Structure 1
Amino acid sequence: MLKLELRAGSSRSMAYFSPVLALLLTIFFGALLFMALGKNPLTGLQVFLIEPIRSKAAIAELLLKTTPLVLCALGLSVCYRANVWNIGAEGQLIAGGLAAGSTILFFDTGTPGLSGGMVLLLATCAGVVGGAAWSSITALLRDRFNANEILVSLMLTYIAQLLLMYAVNGPLKDPGGMNFPQSKVFSSDFLLPHLFQGSRLHVGFIVMLIASGLMAVFVYRSFAGYRLTVGGLAPLAARYAGFSSRKALWLSLLISGGFAGMAGAFEVAGPIGQVLPSISPGYGFAAIIVAFIGRLNPIGTIFGGLVLSLFYLGGEMAQSRLGLPSAITGLFQGMLLFLLLACDTLINYRLRWQK
């Protein structure tokens, strides 16, 4: 008699192959999706995957969207390594963007004061502090009351969105904005400088690359990163070794919130240039997929960020060129996540027949 048995059997190389396989399967099922929608699958895939990277300007837009995705994913990767399930990077990004925007508006009075570079530095620091402060609420409730960090961090996202709506309809509202819920547009001196003329790609992309390298050193070459990893993989061994789970909780959430807040600051002081009711199209949630595509590796998140950024731009192209709804982006993101989990399961637990 034959029966199906699951046996663990994976290697590091196979684990890194899983995202590639999931991406290929996503492209295959994406072609079937275009066929179901009555579109030519080859044309659909070309518009979705090729058009967004066909020119230098398009590539610059790809890298621009990659920046907040990777910054959020860097922090989430640290949390997930420590077995702390932060789902609220979107709310932390909003809090950071609101703090950074408020800082810029405070100094953007039209009178001589601090230089634009100093204000941008202060705004970035305010964004980091704002995001970390927002994530500290989750850490406090988990630490003091053993609240579930998944639910707390997720619910705090909606509170952050309501706080942002209050700000743009109240204290930050532009008096000369014809009653629209938005702040005034920042002066050009208080916007992040662009890397290339004619593109919106700003210096935040360079900061993101540096941050990825520093986080790789932190995770793989520092004792603090080692403690976080051990605490996530083997909590009992970490406790036996004297590693504090409380410190791991606070450190991972503060790092995650800080990076998400930095992403919000770069969005407000970069492509948006003001405080709007919507700072992010969902970068904080998409960063969860980015983190797992990158295998919780700070360098790998750059690859994941490029993929999800391509999906964002491809979804916009599909709307304008093919007349498809905006939900196409979410469909591709969902397929990628589902197929990634399926590939991980099949690779980590190979199916075998046993007599």
Structure 2
Amino acid sequence: MAKLLSPVVLAPRGVPSRRMAYASPLFAIVLTLLFGAMLFLLIGKDPMAALKVFLVDPLKDKRAIGEVLLKTVPLVLCALGLSVCYRANVWNIGADGQLILGGIFAGATVLWFDTPGNTTSGFVVLVLASLAGVVGGMVWASVTALLKDRFNANEILVSLMLTYIAQQLLLWVVNGPLKDPNGMNFPQSKVFSSAFLLPNLLPGSRLHVGFAVMLVLVVIMTVFVFRSFAGYRLQVGGTAPLAARYAGFSSRNALWSALMVSGGTAGLAGAFEVTGPIGQLLPSISPGYGFTAIIVAFVGRLHPVGAVFGGIVMSLFYIGGEMAQSRLGLPSAIGWVFQGMLLFFLLACDTLIDNRLRWRARAA
């Protein structure tokens, strides 16, 4: 009985706590589903039926699975770059703006070649558009890096504000230089020719080859972060600038490298969106993928492979929220509610694990 009534004590730092840190996202997901079921019950919906709409229906057939995997592409690509940033202690919050700039650059590249009489190979144009998207994201991220480097501006505020500027820039281009002259005055570019769209990867679905590129980048990023001297130097330069300076590493290089990688992957996500499921430039090419990718990165424990797991979970929330709106009559924001709960419980679990609370029996 004395053992059962023993108080909570601080556990020493060690391997068990690190293992628990990897279990934290699983605990957070379970808590999110439990509280989500309670939420459905409070608003008069059958919890089991509602959770089925969120978790089962999006995976009911090949086409549905393709849609889930399709949404993981921009989420995981943005999360890959953000994971590098956060490991380097660079708090980039503007992946959504970098995605938008990548989409603008990629769309402009496609429109440049998509003219009558053009004989350029579609493969070449798609490669150029993807590279242009990477450049666009890096250009936008470089503004944050420059202001942080030269004036010590807060990268959180700068990158966040640049996202809203990017949204206004997108509105300008679809109402101005890239507007479809035959689009009946709608704010959009013309629809890209089929030759300049990403080919499908899974027949019978909209999943495109960008998913395969994403998986390759996951492997490359894993090697870069955990198996390369450049990745090690980047992390040390960001987290321990004094130690990095003593070792000859540059925290300034860590800042620029992290933001360029993050901007490049987010820009590539934007390029894949406009040359993939969207097929043109619209006033909005992202429903907030860059912000959701922050949750994806932390659910994945800032690990490239973990980002794939986090991306699938958040993709289910996206599609489940859309299906709950149409089938259950719930507000469209229900998906965002689940995302917010997941982030809240993830932070709560991490806090408990960081405190290393553990029940320990005391000797009688």
Question: Could you say which TM-score interval applies, normalised by the shorter chain?
Answer: over 0.9
Of 127, 131, 149 in structure 2, the residue corresponding to residue 125 of structure 1 is 131
Partner deviation per Cα, 1:196-226 (whole Å, 9 max, x = no partner): 2221000000000000000000001100100
Q: Tell me the CA shift for residue 111 of structure 1.
A: 1.2
Match of 1:141 among 144, 147, 154: 147
Partner of 1:344: 350
**1:294-333 equivalent positions in 2, closer than 5 A:** 294-333=300-339
Structure 2 regions of 5+ residues with no counterpart? 1-5
Q: Report SS of the residue matched to 2:55.
A: helix
Q: How does 1:39-50 map to 2 (within 5 A)?
A: 39-50=45-56
Equivalent residue for 1:97, pick from 92, 103, 107: 103
Equivalent residue for 1:169, pick from 167, 170, 175: 175
The equivalent residue for 1:284 is: 290
Partner Cα distance (2:256, 2:9) in 1? 40
C-alpha distance in structure 2 between counterparts of 1:105 and 1:5, whole Å: 64
Between 171-180 and 345-354, report the one with greater CA deviation.
345-354
Letter in 2 for 1:303: F
Q: Distance in 1 between the 2:191 and 2:50 partners?
A: 37
1:224 aligns with 2:230: yes
SS in 2 for 1:270: coil
Q: Identify the residue that residue 107 of structure 1 maps to in structure 2.
A: 113
Deviation at 1:4, TM superposition (A): 7.8
Residue 204 (structure 2) pairs with residue 198 (structure 1): yes
Partner Cα distance (1:353, 1:60) in 2: 44
CA distance in 1, matches of 2:10, 2:145: 37
Specify the alignment match of 2:29 in structure 1: 23
Identity %: 71
Work out whether residues 66 and 206 of structure 2, in 8 Å CA contact, stay in contact via their aligned partners in 1: yes
Structure 2 CA distance for aligned equivalents of residues 56 and 84 of structure 1: 39
Superposition RMSD on alpha carbons, in Å? 1.7
Aligned pairs for 1:146-161 within 5 A: 146-161=152-167
Residues 241 and 44 of structure 1: is their aligned pair in 2 closer, same or farther, counting only changes over 3 Å? same
- Post-superposition shift, 1:37? 1.5
Partner in structure 2 of residue 67 of structure 1: 73
Secondary structure, counterpart of 1:138 in structure 2: helix
Contact kept? 1:164, 1:277, Cα under 8 Å: yes
Equivalents in 1 of 2:355, 2:236: separation in Å?
23
Report if aligned partners of 2:234, 2:253 keep a CA contact under 8 Å in 1: no
Query: Matched residue of 2:272: which SS?
Result: helix
Contact 2:198–2:276 under 8 Å retained in 1 = yes
Q: Distance in 2 between matches of 1:140 and 1:112?
A: 39
Q: Is the 8 A contact 1:8 1:349 kept in 2?
A: no
Match of 1:299, SS state, is helix
Secondary structure class of the residue paired with 1:198: coil
2:18 is the alignment partner of 1:12: yes
AA of the residue aligned to 2:80: L
Gaps of 5+ in 1: none
Stretches of 4+ aligned residues off by more than 4 angstroms: 2-8, 352-355
Q: Report the residue type matching 2:32 in the other structure.
A: T
- The TM-score with structure 1 as length reference comes to 0.96
Query: 1: distance between equivalents of 2:358 and 2:135?
Result: 51
- What count of residue pairs does the alignment treat as equivalent? 354
Q: Please state how far the C-alpha of 1:240 moved relative to its aligned partner.
A: 1.8
Q: Distance in 2 between matches of 1:17 and 1:32?
A: 23
- Distance of 1:347 and 1:234 partners within structure 2: 23
Contact 1:116 1:189 (8 Å CA) reproduced: yes
Q: Which amino acid aligns with 1:98?
A: I
Contact preservation (8 Å) 1:19, 1:293: yes
Query: Partners of 1:276 and 1:158 in 2: how far apart?
Result: 16
Give me the TM-score of the superposition, normalised by structure 2: 0.94
Compare 110-119 and 181-190 and name the one that shifted more: 110-119
Secondary structure in structure 2 of the residue aligned to 1:38: coil
Taking the aligned partners of 1:236 and 1:11, their CA distance within structure 2 comes to 28
* Structure 1 position 266 matched with structure 2 position 283: no
Deviations 1:63-89 (A, max 9, x none): 000011000000000000000000000
